[in-house]
Structure 1
């Protein structure tokens, strides 16, 4: 196996942490990127984009990929990958904080806003949370509905101008910049709106239900 080299890593960041371009240029700028110190306590900046999985990378056929939005909604939705890519698109400039302590600053994501999808689905008043499912079998995560409706949350299929590869959650992954990265589920295939909080894979193993990096919410007792 070849040794890692920054010179051959297209995702390696050189120089200072990227900053947002002109915010009027059609890019949603996550507010955490505007902090004087963009790295939460207990985190460090990485220049790479590390790869971490709970299990193995699923084999996904793009011709049969589907995304379903269901649960407490008036109009359940299902999209093929082609239909997903025809939805209105946004770009989001955001930092990305992993619970294992690394932070990758200045990511440019592109995809579909969660608020756009949920508006189409007509979320019922009783809905307060979402269970996000993935092609990674039996894996889910729970996210408060209010967090999903933030303007910088999206289902992304590109990162820094390139399609998201399978190792990093492609073809489509959730991105919730203001929460720890395990909430930004890879290989997303379902978003189910619920009235009650239903802990997911990592949450059942002791991770925090909310996961705010600025509050140090790594584990349930934080």
Structure 2
């Protein structure tokens, strides 16, 4: 990655911190490409369910990841659509079950290896905003700007609760908090690419900040670094 000519901004952090929203805002403002790395892991977990592969069968899950037939497109409303084997799975992979599957398969080293190069292939001119958990530490270690966006588990559970209610889903706030805490523990303790800020990342706690303030702060930093 040394001497990478295409500028990259990485946005890492735990689930529900606002990474996706911030990354979309940055990509739109800069006119850059966008990588939702979590979607690749969500599709891998969902593909295993569709193919009858247990998440506990690491060799079989890695095989699914290596041969993942996934296509990302953007619809007329600017929404990213995800297709697996030609079928739209955008909604299915965004459920709580989809999140659990992503976090579960992401701890498998062979799965991370299988998806590494695919993620790096998103790095195309004029630039890339990469949203994930190890974008700044592993996938794009030479990124021009690294952001680690976090928030308290309670606030992230509250945000997710409101999102799901808005979609008409029947959810339990205590259960969401439990799931988030379990996912945090799994992501931060895995042996390969644990969820930690890169040494040169700017850490932002969004617990009490509106996303507009976070976006403005990151854009100002991007300007100072000559990325805008």
Report the TM-score when normalising by structure 2: 0.25
Greater fraction helix? 2
| Higher RCO (CA < 8 A, seq sep 6+) | 2
Greater fraction strand? 1
Report the TM-score when normalising by structure 1: 0.26
